[in-house]
Structure 1
Amino acid sequence: MTQLLVRYSRILEIVGDIVRVHVPSPAEGDVSAIGFGDLALIENILDPDQPPYMAQVIQLDDDSVSLQVFSGTKGLSTKAGVRFLGHPMQVTFSPNILGRAFSGSGRPIDGGPALSEEARIDIDGPTVNPVRRILASRMIRTNVPMIDVFNSLVESQKIPIFSVAGEPYNRLLAQIGANADADVVVFGGIGLIFDDYHFFRRAFEEAGVSARTVTFAHLGSDPVVEGLLVPDMALAVAERFAVEEGKRVLVLLTDMTAYADALKEVGISMEHVPSNRGYIGDLYSQLARRYEKACDYKGAGSVTILSVTTMPGDDVTHPVPDNTGYITEGQFYLHNGVLDPFGSLSRLKQHVIGKVTREDHGQIMNTMVRFYAEARDAQQKQAMSFDLTEYDERLLQFGALFRDRFMDIGVSLPLEEALDLCWQTLSECFQPEELLMKQQLVDKYFPQRQAG
C-alpha cells in the first residue's frame, strides 16, 4: 500500500467520527495530491503501539481535509498524525471471493482465510459509457410468480422493492437470490441486525447457491461510514464479474433507506445545510450514481440491481422512495406480506414478455389482473352487504385462489408452471368465452376438461 511521504500532525478538531486536519499546499516530494474519497491512516502519537485508525476523505477545503474515521474516534486525541495513502477505498476481487462474506470495510467475517494476496480494485468508479450499453432483452427468472408472470425482472434493470418496516422484504430478497437464474449474486446489507445477516447466509447455503454468492454486510453495531461503502463495494465487484468474466450478475441491496440515513448522519456531522426532512441536498445524485451501475454490456455480461427501499410511515412521498422512483425502472410493492399487483410495475417487462417467454404470457398476465380487479370490486360489494350475483361469487373464489397461489411470497414456481397454474385457476372459476382472450390461445392452453 503506497503512502505519501508527509505526515500531517495538526489536528484542528474532532467532532463525532469526523476529524479535520490542517493540510498546507502539497509538499515537494508527495506521491500525489490528496483526492476526495482517498484513504488515510491516523496514528495516535501518544500511544505508538495502538493500531492506526483507518479514515476516508469526505471534504476538501483550501487548507484542511475532513476525514470520516471508520471505527470511530474514541481514544483519539488532537495529538495525532495523518498519512494519506493516495488511493480510494479498495475491495478484493477474484473468483476466490465467491462464497465469502465481508464487512463494510472489506474484511472477511465468515471465518475463512485472508485474501491478502488477491487483487484489489477501487470502488465507486464512473458509470458505464452509454455506447457500451445494449438494450435490455433478457429475463432474470426468480420463481416468484408475482414477478415472473406479472412484472418480469429484466437483465440490466434497476428496480426497488418498496415496503415498510416489519414487512418480510428480506425473506423475499433471500428467496429471489436463492432462485434467480443469474451466474453470480452479490448481496449488500446495510444496517442489518445479526439475525438478518445470519438469515441470508443460511438461506443461500440451504438453497445450495452460496458458491455463486458474495456477501457484504454492514451490521447495525458497525461504524456508519462502513454502511456507505457497502453498495459501492458490491457494485464494484459485480461490475468486474460482468465485464471481465462475462457473468450475468444480480445485485441485491437492503436497505437503501438505511444508506440514505447514513448519508444524513454524515451530513449533520459536517454541518451541511439539510434539504427535505433533513436529508442531504444531493440525495438524488448519490442514489443515481449507484443505481446507474446497472447495465447490459456489449460483448460481456450484465449487472441487474434489485434493492429494498423502506418507506417510513408507508409514505411514498418520503425523500428516499420519491427520489428512487425517478431513477429506477418501476418498483415492486410489498404490502401486507404480499406483492401488490396494482402497486408494482416493471417498465422493462415488455422487452421480454411474449418475446423470450411463452406466447400466452402477455394475454394471461392481463386477464389475471383484470379478473383480480373485478374480484376486489366484488369484495367491496360483499363488505357493504350488497346482494352478490353468481358471477360475483365466482369472482370472490378467483380472488381467494389468486392470493393463495400467486401473491403469497412463499410460493416458488418456474414461469411455465406458473402460467399453467394461471390457466388452471381461470378454468376453475370461468368459462372459456368469459376470458375475452385470443381464441387460438384459449384452444391451446385452456384445460380441455372444462371446455364446453
Structure 2
Amino acid sequence: MKLYREGYSKISGMAGPLLFVEGVQNAGYGELVTIEDSKRKRQGQILQIDGDLCVIQLFDGSMGLGTGGTTVWMDRSVFKVPVGSGLIGKVLNGRGQDRSGKELLFYEDRLPVSGLPINPARRSSPQSFIQTGISSIDMMNTLVKGQKLPVFAGPGLPANRLTAQIVKQARSLDKDRQFLVVFAAMGITKREAQFFMDSFEETGALEKGVFFVNLASDSAAERLLTPRMALTVAEYFAFQKGYDVLVVMTDMLHYCNSLREVSAAREEVPGRRGYPGYMYSDLAELYERAGCIEGNSGSITQIPIITMPDDDMTHPVVDLSGYITEGQIVLGRDLTDKGIFPPVDVLPSLSRLMNKGIGRGKTFSYHRAMADQLYASYSKARELVKLRLIVGDEGLTDLEHKYIEFGRLFDDIFIDQGDSDISIESTFDRSWDALKVLPDQELFKLPSDLVSRRAR
C-alpha cells in the first residue's frame, strides 16, 4: 500500500487523445498515470519524454477535460494484462477487462503488454502443419506453426466470415498438443462484434480461446493496446504453458489508422498517405512476436486480417505487412461475385514457409507436387478464359476447352466449400475431383505412379 501519491498539475495543453504535462520528475516511457479532475478519473500512459515535459496518451480521450483543476498522478508501473488458465473462454475489452463488467478473479500473473523479444539465436524454424479446414489454404497456401500469414481483403469482402471460420476450425493434427486461439478485434462495429460473438458461441469456439474486442467507439489509444495484450496472453500460454497458440488479429488497418491519429496529434512529420514513418517498426514489433523457440514445445502463429482500401495491394499497411510477414492469403472480388466462399484467390496468394510444414509424416508425401499441379493447371485455365473472349469457343482446341472446364470445377468443387470443415485427406480427394477432366499427359507436375493410380 502506497503511503503517498506523486502528482503534477502543470498541464500545458491537449491535442486529441494526448495530454502535455510539465515538471514531471524521473518519468519512464510506457509508465501508467491517473488523470483526475473534479468530475472523473481517467487512465493514461506516458508516450514521450522531453526533459521534464511528458506527452501522455489518454485511454479514454480528452473530451471534457480542462487544463485547470487537473492532476496527473504517477502510478510508477507499466500496463499489465492478467494471464492464466482462467482466461480461456473469456471475452475481454481492449484493456484486458471482462466485457461483462465482472472482475477477473482467477488469474495466475500479470505481465507487461510489451512482452519480451525472442532472441534470434534461440528461434527455431517452423516445421509443423496447422489445419484450418479450408482446402485452398491447407493444400496450396499451407499455414505452419510459428508462421505469420496475413489475409488481404478488399472492402465488402467476407473477411469477417472467413475469420470466424478459421477461429472455429483451426487445429493441430497432433492430438497430444494443446491448441488455443487468441482472437483480437480492433476498431470493429457493435454489429461486427455481435456477429463474432454469436458465431463463436454457436460453434463452441468461445470455450476454446481468449477473446479481446475493441469497438470503433473506443479510444484510439486503447486500440493500440489490444494486439499487445492479446500477444502477451499468447506468449504466456505458448512459452510458459506449452500451448500451440494461433493469434487472429482483425483489422490491422484500423490499428494503423489509430497509429496515424496519435501521430497527427503529436504533429509528427507524416510518411506515406499520412501514416507515421515508424509504422514499419511498429508493425514488426507485433508480427515478430510470432515464432518457435528452441527447447520450448509451444509456438505462436499469427493470422492478421488487413483490409485493402480500393483493393490496393500497394497501400502502406498492406505493403509493409507483406514485407514483414511470410506470405499472404488474398480474397478475390470476382469469386465473391460468383457466390463462392471462401473466396481465396490462390494465384496471388502465397505461403513462403509452406514447404516446412508439408510432406511425409506431416500431411502426405506428394503434397507439394499436387499443389504445383493445381497452380499450373488453374493459371492456364484463367489465361484461356481471357483468350476465349477474343477468339471465341471455335478458336480453342479440345484440350483448351478441358482446361476451361477444369477452371470451373476448381472454383465450384475445390475453392467453394461454404462453412464446411474439410480435412486434409478430403482436400486431396477434392483436388482429384477437379483434375479428372484433364488427360494424364497434362498432369506433368505429379509423379507418374500417382497419376496411373488416380481414380477415374
With the shorter chain as reference, the TM-score category is over 0.9
Cα distance per residue 1:271-327 (max 9 Å; x no partner): 111111111110110000000000112223000010111222222222111111111
Residues 42-121 of structure 1 mapped to structure 2, 5 A cutoff: 42-44=35-37, 47=38, 50-78=39-67, 79-109=69-99, 111=100, 113-116=102-105, 118=107, 119-121=109-111
Looking at structure 2, the residues matched to 262 and 255 of structure 1 have their Cα atoms a distance apart, in angstroms, of: 11
Match of 1:14 in 2: 14
Looking at structure 2, the residues matched to 316 and 4 of structure 1 have their Cα atoms a distance apart, in angstroms, of: 54
Residues 335-350 of structure 1 mapped to structure 2, 5 A cutoff: 335-336=332-333, 337=336, 338-350=343-355
Looking at structure 2, the residues matched to 200 and 216 of structure 1 have their Cα atoms a distance apart, in angstroms, of: 11
Residues 205-224 of structure 1 mapped to structure 2, 5 A cutoff: 205-224=201-220
Looking at structure 2, the residues matched to 116 and 161 of structure 1 have their Cα atoms a distance apart, in angstroms, of: 35
Asked whether the 8 Å contact 2:413–2:433 carries over to 1, the reply is no
Match of 1:321 in 2: 318
User: Which of 422, 425, 443 is the matching residue for 1:413?
Assistant: 422
Matched positions, count:
434
Residues 138-217 of structure 1 mapped to structure 2, 5 A cutoff: 138-182=128-172, 183-217=179-213
Amino acid of the residue matched to residue 327 of structure 1? I
Aligned partner of residue 245 in structure 1, secondary structure: coil
Aligned partner of residue 296 in structure 1, secondary structure: strand
Aligned partner of residue 404 in structure 2, secondary structure: helix
How far off is 1:4 after superposition? 7.2
How far off is 1:360 after superposition? 2.2
Looking at structure 2, the residues matched to 6 and 114 of structure 1 have their Cα atoms a distance apart, in angstroms, of: 27
Match of 1:30 in 2: none
Amino acid of the residue matched to residue 45 of structure 2? Q
TM-score by length of 2: 0.91
Looking at structure 2, the residues matched to 420 and 137 of structure 1 have their Cα atoms a distance apart, in angstroms, of: 24
User: Which of 430, 433, 443 is the matching residue for 1:424?
Assistant: 433
Say whether residues 1:129 and 2:103 are aligned partners: no
Aligned partner of residue 130 in structure 2, secondary structure: coil
Distance 1:179 1:327, change over 3 A: same
Asked whether the 8 Å contact 1:339–1:409 carries over to 2, the reply is no
User: Which of 433, 436, 440 is the matching residue for 2:441?
Assistant: 433
Aligned-residue RMSD, C-alpha: 1.7
Amino acid of the residue matched to residue 368 of structure 1? L
Looking at structure 2, the residues matched to 326 and 214 of structure 1 have their Cα atoms a distance apart, in angstroms, of: 28
Q: Which runs of 5+ in 2 are unaligned?
A: 173-178, 337-342
User: Which of 282, 288, 297 is the matching residue for 1:286?
Assistant: 282
Amino acid of the residue matched to residue 20 of structure 2? R
Looking at structure 2, the residues matched to 112 and 264 of structure 1 have their Cα atoms a distance apart, in angstroms, of: 30
User: Which of 386, 390, 394 is the matching residue for 1:384?
Assistant: 390
Say whether residues 1:333 and 2:342 are aligned partners: no
Asked whether the 8 Å contact 1:249–1:302 carries over to 2, the reply is yes
Say whether residues 1:374 and 2:374 are aligned partners: no
Cα distance per residue 1:84-130 (max 9 Å; x no partner): 11122111211111111111122211x27321463321101232112
How far off is 1:2 after superposition? 6.3
Aligned partner of residue 158 in structure 1, secondary structure: coil
Looking at structure 1, the residues matched to 152 and 307 of structure 2 have their Cα atoms a distance apart, in angstroms, of: 6
Distance 1:265 1:404, change over 3 A: same
Aligned partner of residue 159 in structure 1, secondary structure: coil
Asked whether the 8 Å contact 1:251–1:306 carries over to 2, the reply is yes
Amino acid of the residue matched to residue 406 of structure 1? F
Cα distance per residue 1:161-198 (max 9 Å; x no partner): 11211111111111111000051101111110112112
Q: Which runs of 5+ in 1 are unaligned?
A: 27-32
Looking at structure 1, the residues matched to 102 and 318 of structure 2 have their Cα atoms a distance apart, in angstroms, of: 39
Aligned partner of residue 7 in structure 1, secondary structure: strand
Amino acid of the residue matched to residue 351 of structure 1? K
Distance 1:402 1:233, change over 3 A: same
